Structure 1
Amino acid sequence: MKRTLFWLNRGLFYLLVVFVVVYSVFPFYWAVISSFKPSSGLFTPDPSFLPIPFTLEQYRNVFVGTAFGRNLLNSLLVAGGATLLSLVLGVLAAYALGRLRFPPKNAVLYIVLSMTMFPQIAVLGGFFVLLRQVGLFNTHAGLILSYMLFTLPFTVWVLVGYFRGLPRELEEAAYVDGATPVQTLLRVMLPLTGPGLVTTGLLAFIAAWNEFLFALTFTVSDVVRTVPPAIAFFGGATPYEIPWGSIMAASVVVTVPLVVLVLVFQQRIVAGLTAGAVKG
């Protein structure tokens, strides 16, 4: 009886694992095979789960005669700039909030947390007016500034936990040797938070790379427009046609860099996500 229950539980467990994997991977798989099909093959009553016939027509439509290449560079510049600035400012803020002592520290943490509670639509109008007034509307700098509204609080909150988990003896030893707080941060604390920096930076980059609402509102031309709104503006042969093949191809193109980043830094990501205590 016990053996039967054991195999039943194991079978249900593997069945659940298969369901989760298929549920998660199948949408991306369908996008990939759809991107290699001709437009006529996307609307057949009996769709194939293989790219038959195989064609690169959709990828040619994405890159030939459009500004999609420039949109990719815009996304890389804006997401990378927002991530870099968020890490620099987030490290300084997280070190102060996690290691230094000053009276309003908890209040500052709650203020940072409250910044993440507002939906984007709630601050959209105010940011629109602000960017227009300071001359940053439809610019890369304006998008970077708006993206930091959600990347910076996230970075601060995650890194505060990493700095709090570091042994205080390391910091005290640095102070005994005559190091200043800035030297202690750069030479002692920062190298120990490598996995945390990689994990936080990658998650912030993905959030900025996929952002749609700010990019749609604060850009009006392909010179600055990033990938998500650019895909939304794809047009077909007629005003009423939705080019699903081109949309699928563009979605695959913008997803591949994120997959590559996760595969390259997977060990550091796992280490960063599982780091909770440091043995002294």
Structure 2
Amino acid sequence: MKGKNAIGTWVGFLLILLWCLFPVAWIISLSFKSVGETSVGSPQFLPEDATFDNYKALWDWPFIGADPTGVEEDFQKALLNSFGISIIATVLSVILATLAAYAIARLEFKGKRLVLSLALAIAMFPVVALVGPLFDLWTRFGLFNTWPGLIIPYMSFTLPLAIWTLSAFFREIPWEMEQAAQVDGATSWQAFRKVIVPLAAPGVFTAAILTFFFAWNEFVLAISLTSTTASRTVPAQMSFFVGPDPFNPPYAQLATASVIVTLPVIIIVLLFQRKIVAGLTSGAVKG
């Protein structure tokens, strides 16, 4: 019976793995197919004649988009925007979330539960409902089509999750460790920076990675609050990839761009998978 259960477990695991990875494998295969092969239809999984032309073209050929200024869209510029906006939003969100989560976990003040409830409500609020008001505000304040115009809303939606994740870590750290550091002559800030934050490193990494993923993959705000490649990120930029006519979109180039955009996410997950698991499971077991 144990052998049959083991075989059934492995069969189920392989089926789930195949179901999850098949779309990824198909996109990778599509990125190595020629434009002519994809334009006439390509039912086979493997390319007939594998080529790197799509990867070369993605860096050499400026994709022409529907920008109102008529300027040719640049994939490299959008990739730089994605990195810059995501990193800045992540750093600012983690810093603010660390301070806010520490205060919530350690201090007793009126309205503590209200703050957590509001944070949770903000995290559950649909992004599309804020597109109209943000568009009007950013146009009036000169933030439309700028990096800050995307960084601010990204921080607003990622801060609640980061605060909840970090506050769970801070609650698990014994209060006596901070008191011991203060007895040894450390100030409250030094005890927080040199003792508490290093102990909460898994939670900090988890909050940073989740924030980065949200900013890196976000589409609705990126397409609604930008008009040129001055601040447009890659997910929004890919919607402007066009083919020779509306009925023949550049499937191969879109697949190639998807592979390039996915690589940083895969690398980050592989490097910090243990910290991600530790951060997500924090507080799941008490005692």
Q: Say which of 24, 30, 33 aligns to 1:34.
A: 30
Moved more, 153-162 or 179-188: 179-188
1:244 aligns with 2:251: yes
2:215 equivalent in structure 1 = 208
Q: Say which of 149, 165, 185 aligns to 1:158.
A: 165
* Amino acid in the other structure paired with 1:19: L
In 2, are the aligned partners of 1:93 and 1:156 still within 8 Å (CA)? Answer: yes
Separation in 2, partners of 1:166, 1:180: 18
1:119 equivalent in structure 2 = 126
Instruction: Report the CA distance between 1:130 and its aligned residue.
Output: 1.9
In 2, are the aligned partners of 1:41 and 1:47 still within 8 Å (CA)? Answer: no
Residue correspondence of structure 1 range 11-30 to structure 2 within 5 A: 11-30=7-26
Residue correspondence of structure 1 range 223-238 to structure 2 within 5 A: 223-238=230-245
1:96 aligns with 2:92: no
In 2, are the aligned partners of 1:116 and 1:154 still within 8 Å (CA)? Answer: yes
Instruction: Report the CA distance between 1:178 and its aligned residue.
Output: 4.8
Separation in 2, partners of 1:180, 1:126: 44
1:81 equivalent in structure 2 = 88
- TM-score (normalizing by structure 2): 0.89
CA RMSD, 1 decimal = 2.2
Separation in 2, partners of 1:180, 1:103: 25
Instruction: Report the CA distance between 1:173 and its aligned residue.
Output: 1.9
2:69 equivalent in structure 1 = none
In 1, are the aligned partners of 2:123 and 2:158 still within 8 Å (CA)? Answer: no
Q: Say which of 51, 56, 68 aligns to 2:52.
A: 56
Stretches of structure 2 lacking an aligned partner (at least 5 in a row): 63-73
Stretches of structure 1 lacking an aligned partner (at least 5 in a row): none
1:218 aligns with 2:225: yes
1:257 aligns with 2:253: no
Percent sequence identity over aligned pairs = 42
- TM-score (normalizing by structure 1): 0.91
Separation in 1, partners of 2:77, 2:42: 37
Q: How many residues align?
A: 276
Moved more, 161-170 or 234-243: 234-243
Instruction: Report the CA distance between 1:224 and its aligned residue.
Output: 1.3
1:266 aligns with 2:269: no
Q: Say which of 3, 10, 24 aligns to 1:7.
A: 3
Q: Say which of 23, 43, 58 aligns to 1:47.
A: 43
1:176 equivalent in structure 2 = 183
Instruction: Report the CA distance between 1:43 and its aligned residue.
Output: 5.9
Instruction: Report the CA distance between 1:155 and its aligned residue.
Output: 0.8
In 1, are the aligned partners of 2:241 and 2:250 still within 8 Å (CA)? Answer: yes
* Amino acid in the other structure paired with 1:268: K
Q: Say which of 129, 142, 145 aligns to 1:138.
A: 145
1:185 aligns with 2:192: yes
Instruction: Report the CA distance between 1:101 and its aligned residue.
Output: 1.4
Q: Secondary structure at the match of 1:29?
A: helix
CA distances 1:78-105 after superposition (whole Å, capped 9, x unpaired): 1111111000100000000011111211
Separation in 2, partners of 1:129, 1:277: 42
Separation in 2, partners of 1:215, 1:277: 34
In 2, are the aligned partners of 1:71 and 1:227 still within 8 Å (CA)? Answer: yes
Instruction: Report the CA distance between 1:277 and its aligned residue.
Output: 8.7
Separation in 1, partners of 2:284, 2:5: 33
In 2, are the aligned partners of 1:79 and 1:209 still within 8 Å (CA)? Answer: yes
